[in-house]
Chains A and B, each alone.
Chain A
Amino acid sequence: MSCFETLQSYAFRSLGYGERLLPRSDFTLCDQFVLIGSGLIWNVYFGVLAVLGGFVFANALAMGKASRRPALRLPATWFIFLFRGSPLFIQFFFAYFLFLSLKSVSPLFDPLSSAAVGALFVLFLNTSAYSAEIFYGALQSIPKGDMEAANAYGISGWSRFRRIMFPTMMRLAWPSYTNEAIFLFHATTLVFFSGFPAWRQQGDALYYANYFADKTFNPFIPYPILAFYFILLTLTVIWAFGRVNQRLNKHVPQERRQKIKLKMQLIR
């Protein structure tokens, strides 16, 4: 099979299109590159949707945690502690079996036990908690002068939040939030290693890399390929977030702008 044919049959294998059977023997470099790349579609899917959804929910949580009303503050604080204090791996397992038992309650919960919906839901909650902590920290470090100036101009309530607090909060939080997003993309590799099954061997990048490593007993090819893809993905994320960062910092003098400093973290 030429490399182009491999590309045709396996490029969308992770979504269920193309050849059903995974290669069994005579693995070429091309096979591995194409299949692992195909799995990456899942990582991008989980990562992008969880970041987008999590952004909105994280803002709500950060506001809740900063609220003076205990009815808002306590649930938000507990939610953040719950998801930041326990391993994502265990969260996946627990959620999967929870969804399985919910399944018998009502068919309404059926889709939740599939990786595409259930795992996305867990990732969404998890990244919300982590980002909320970042946003909360940024909210606390908004310069006092900004608020005083806003009050002096007679801006208050919702419009003060929308025009003064929110943009500043974003600007302060953005470098750490970028790291959180990168980290989330790395965390998507856990999905198929926890409870969630890979339906018809439609797994993510690590699932295929692991498949090749198991079949060939040679970890030195698939894992570096995986690393290569993830470095590309990370660079893309940095680029996209860097654009937003530029926009957020447009009005700030050049030398006071915050650069995005890469700070990797392991396991969540």
Chain B
Amino acid sequence: MSFYAAFGTVLLLLAVTAPAALLFGLGGAVAARSRFLPVSWFGRGYIAIVRGVPDIAFFLFFVIALDQGIEYLRHKVRCPDWTDPVRQGNDFVVCDLAKMPLSSSPQWMHEVYGFWLAVFTFAIVFGAFAGNVLFGAMRSVPRAQLETAEAYGMTPRQTFWRILMPQMWVYALPGLSNLWMVLIKATPLLFLLGVEDIVYWARELGGSKAPRFTDYPHPDWRMWYFLALLVFYLVFTKVSEVVLDRLTRRLSRGQATLAGEAQRKEGVAA
């Protein structure tokens, strides 16, 4: 049963992470475009650093770093009169009240907390990628469009919201759909972050059961479980491909791009 529920975990992760990453990306791209230098550096730095380092190193790093960061902050607030150093040699010690989640809280709290930590990590990493795509897309909106907006007397903010934002998406879509595919394929890494996802259950349930201890003795089925996962991902990829294709067609309608032009001609011919 948990195995099937784990598919839900994966889908939930995708549903939550995609918008979150898009938001991070948008923030990064807007920051990188900013005319105020430190903000621009921050945006560019964020995009450049996260993109340059191997993926799973980041996942392994961020989860511990975030966890410790949160606990450290809580430690500072909750237990101000704690005198021992937090780093004692190889140990990371905070007072009991600062433990996240509290050691007295039930098991499901721990799982939910782990899940959100994973979502946050995914969002940071994929936000950098989305940021790069969106940054490029904002730059490929034709200059003339923005100049026209200025000529009509729009303020920079109006230009951004009314002209740049609506037009940017069609340029960003190829990159973003690529990113979505990558995101789908990144979900098994949840397993590394300690969330009990489908990979975890495939290993657990498929493993050979000691015949004497369970009601359902069976040999090593892990191979078949993983085959099922493989098929699941393939189908998911195929479906996304079809959906994104349709979306691209819909978005290019009436745009000043080659695809939009082709659609216009089709319409005229028909």
Contact = CB atoms under 8 A, between A and B. Distances in A.
Interface stretch (A14-22, A69-77, A216-224): A216-224
B90 A267 contact: no
A186 B54 contact: yes
A97 B222 contact: yes
B251 interface: no
A176 interface: no
Given A85-B238, A100-B223, A219 B90 contact: no
A125 to B, nearest CB: 13
Interface stretch (B142-150, B158-166, B229-237): B229-237
A267 B122 CA distance: 12
A87 B185 contact: yes
Nearest to B49: A227
A213 B188 CA distance: 21
Interface residues of B, number: 43
A266 B186 CA distance: 8
B227 interface: yes
B60 A223 contact: yes
B56 A217 contact: no
B182 interface: yes
A1 interface: no
A259 interface: no
Interface stretch (A56-64, A88-96, A244-252): A88-96
A209 interface: yes
B134 to A, nearest CB: 15
A98 interface: yes
Given A90-B229, A264-B51, A219 B189 contact: no
Nearest to A81: B234
Interface string B50-74: 0111111100110011001000000
Contacts of B195: none
A226 B230 contact: no
Identify the interface centre among B65, B187, B223, B234: most chain A CB within 10 Å of its CB.
B223
B54 A230 contact: yes
Interface residues of A, number: 42
Given A90-B188, A218-B87, A267-B186, A206 B223 contact: no
A266 B223 contact: no
A140 to B, nearest CB: 17
Nearest to A206: B57
A97 B233 contact: no
B230 A267 contact: no
Contacts of A216: 90
20 contacts: A85-B233, A89-B189, A89-B191, A93-B199, A93-B229, A100-B220, A101-B220, A189-B56, A206-B56, A206-B57, A216-B90, A217-B64, A219-B61, A226-B57, A234-B52, A264-B51, A265-B129, A266-B55, A266-B125, A266-B186
Interface of A: 25, 27, 81-82, 85-91, 93-94, 97-98, 100-101, 186, 189-190, 193, 206, 209-210, 213, 215-220, 223, 226-227, 230-231, 234, 264-268
Given A86-B185, A87-B233, A89-B185, 11 more contacts: A85-B234, A85-B237, A93-B199, A101-B223, A186-B55, A193-B56, A218-B87, A218-B90, A227-B57, A266-B55, A266-B125
Interface of B: 51-57, 60-61, 64-65, 68, 87, 90-92, 125-126, 129, 182, 184-189, 191-192, 199, 202-203, 206, 220, 222-223, 226-227, 229-230, 233-234, 237-238
**Top 3 A-B residue pairs of the complex, sorted by shortest distance between their CB atoms:** A94-B226, A97-B223, A87-B185
